[in-house]
């Protein structure tokens, strides 16, 4: 069985935790608008929208916590991947329906960003990366340099995700 270096496992785990903690906090800050984002995807009956929105937030919070502990990392990584795949499918279904002006809800509530195919690919790529954290870790002690590397890599990935999303918004503003 393949083993993953603990520095890579921790980098992936922390990156997923940062992503989902940020996502859940955006949704919790403006619950009503998030509920409207879920409703606007038009994949659920209106009666199920409030419960589903709460469930998404709870699952994101759960994934954040579970992925941080070695004992529950596999569960958290699988949960994270399932959430991201669900979001990718929801976007893809709406894109196939021609609903290209639908707010993805990716940048937080109130920062409209229409769904695009690259977002579907991005979510699936992050879902695949999260699954790497399911692999068992090689037995090696982490050093202080590993700690610096893990923190630096996690921050870099968070900044890259944010920059990529904001560039999408800027491109839309420039191209109209």
Map out the domains of the chain as residue ranges. Answer: 6-175
What average pLDDT does range 66-76 have in this prediction? 96
DSSP of 40-103, one letter per residue? HT--S-GGGHHHHHHHHHHHHHHHHHHTTSGGGHHHHHHHHHHHHHHHHHHHHHHHHTT-TT-B
pLDDT on residue 169: 59
- CA 32, CA 158: separation in Å to the nearest integer? 26
List, for residues 2-20, the tens digit of each pLDDT value: 899 999 999 999 999 999 9
């Amino acid at each position: 069985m393949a083993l993953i270096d603990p520095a890579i496992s921790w980098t992936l785990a922390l990156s997923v935790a940062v992503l989902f903690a940020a996502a859940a906090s955006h949704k919790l800050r403006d619950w009503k608008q998030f509920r409207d984002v879920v409703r606007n995807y038009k994949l659920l009956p209106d009666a199920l929208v409030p419960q589903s929105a709460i469930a998404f937030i709870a699952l994101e919070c759960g994934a954040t916590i579970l992925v941080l502990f070695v004992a529950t990392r596999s569960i958290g990584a699988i949960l994270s991947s399932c959430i991201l795949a669900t979001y990718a499918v929801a976007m893809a279904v709406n894109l196939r329906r021609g609903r290209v002006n639908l707010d993805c809800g990716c940048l937080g509530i109130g920062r409209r960003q229409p769904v695009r195919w690259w977002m579907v690919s991005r979510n699936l790529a992050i879902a695949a990366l999260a699954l790497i954290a399911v692999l068992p870790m090689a037995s090696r002690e982490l050093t202080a340099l590993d700690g610096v590397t893990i923190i630096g890599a996690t921050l870099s990935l968070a900044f890259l995700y944010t920059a990529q999303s904001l560039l999408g918004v800027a491109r839309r503003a420039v191209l109209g």
